Amino acid sequence: MFTVILILWGSAAIGYVLRRHPFRAVGRLTTWSVWLLLFLMGCEVGANPDLISQLGTLGLEALILTVASFAGCMGLSWAFWEYLQKHPKNKNTGLSNSLSEASSSPISPKPSIRQQTGESMVIVGFFAFGVSGTRLGWIPVLPPEAGFYALCLLLGCVGFSIGQNDEMRHGLRKIDKRQALLPVVTAIGTWLGAISTALLIQRHTPADWLAAGSGFGYYSLSSILITEMRGAELGTIALMYNIFRELAALIGAPLLYRMFGPLAPISQGGATTGDTTLPIIAGCCGNQFVPLSIFHGFALDFTVPFLVPFFCSLS
C-alpha cells in the first residue's frame, strides 16, 4: 500500500510541476500498460487450473456484486436528487446557477453502444488471450515480478495524468457544492451493495467484497491491485464486476435517467464518468451535468489506488 501511494503521489507531483509542458504520449503509454497488465493477469489465471474451473462461479459472483451495488447506488442517488430538488440552492430554478449556465451549451450527440463498449472488449480480449495462451502452452509461465513492475508503470502514468489535468479544478468551479457530494453517495451505495453481497456469499470476507466494489468501474487498476494483494481469484471477480458495471451504465443510462433521475447514470458509471461514459451521460442527461460527471469520475478515480489497497489490507 505504501508503494502504491508513493508512486501515485510522486508521479502526480511531477505531472503538476510539468503541467505547462504536457506529455501527450502518456495517454498511449497508459493504454499500453493497461493492456500489458490485463494480459499478465490473464496469464496468471491461465496458469491456475483450479481458477479456470471456477470461472463460471466467479462470473456469477461478480454479477451478484454488480446487481447489489447497482441497487445501492440507484436508491441513494435517487434520494439525493429528491433532496436537492426539495431544497434547491436557487429557489427559482431548483438548480445552481453554475449548472444553469452550463446548460446553454449544445448537447453532445449520443454515441452508439458499440463505440462506447469497444475499449472494454479490447480489455477483455487481452485478458482472454493471456488465459488461453497460457492454457495452450503458447506462453510460458511468467514470474510474478512482471505484474508488479507493469503495475508500477501504470500507477506512474495515472498519477502523472492526474497532475497534468486541469479539468478537475475547472469542474469544481462549475458545480453546486452540494452536488459535489455525489461521489460520496456513489461510494456508500456501492459499499452497501458489497456488504449485502458478503451476506449472500461468505466465501470471501466483507473486506474482500468492499475492495472489489471499490473499483467503481475502474476495471484495469482495481483488478490488478487486488490480484497483486489478494490473488487472481478475487482479482478476476473484480475485473468482471467492473466491466459489468460500466456496461450497465453505457446500455442503461437513458432508462436510469427516466426512472431514478439525472444523478443515477452518473452514480452507476462510477469512476468512468470522466471519460468513457461521459458522452452518453451528456446525451441523456444534458450538458448541464457534464461538469458534475467529470468531477465525479475524477474523484472516484483518485480514490481507487487508496481504497482498494486499504480494504485488501483488512482481509
Please report, in tens digits, the pLDDT of each residue of the chain (315 residues total). 567 667 777 887 888 888 787 777 887 887 788 788 778 877 877 777 766 777 788 889 999 999 999 999 999 999 999 998 887 765 433 344 444 443 343 334 444 445 545 655 776 788 788 888 888 888 887 776 777 777 788 778 877 876 776 665 565 566 777 888 999 999 999 999 999 999 999 889 999 999 999 999 876 678 878 888 888 889 889 988 988 888 788 778 888 998 999 999 999 999 888 766 776 787 788 777 878 888 898 889 888 888 999 999 886
What is the longest distance spanned by two Cα atoms in the chain?
67
pLDDT at position 100, please? 42
The residue written with cell numbers 507531483 in the block is: 13
Q: Is 73 helix (H, G, I), strand (E, B) or coil?
A: helix
Integer Cα distance of 254 and 269 in angstroms: 12
pLDDT at position 81, please? 93
What DSSP string runs through 127-168? HHHHHHHHHTTSSPPPPTHHHHHHHHHHHHHHHHHHHH--HH
pLDDT at position 214, please? 93
DSSP E strands in the chain: the ranges are none
Instruction: Judge whether 304 and 188 are in contact, CB under 8 Å.
Output: no
Single-letter amino acid code for the residue at 236: T
Single-letter amino acid code for the residue at 216: F
pTM across the whole model: 0.69
What DSSP string runs through 13-71? HHHHHTTTS--THHHHHHHHHHHHHHHHHHHHHHT-HHHHHTHHHHHHHHHHHHHHHHH
* Structural domains present in the chain: 2-314 (1.10.3860)
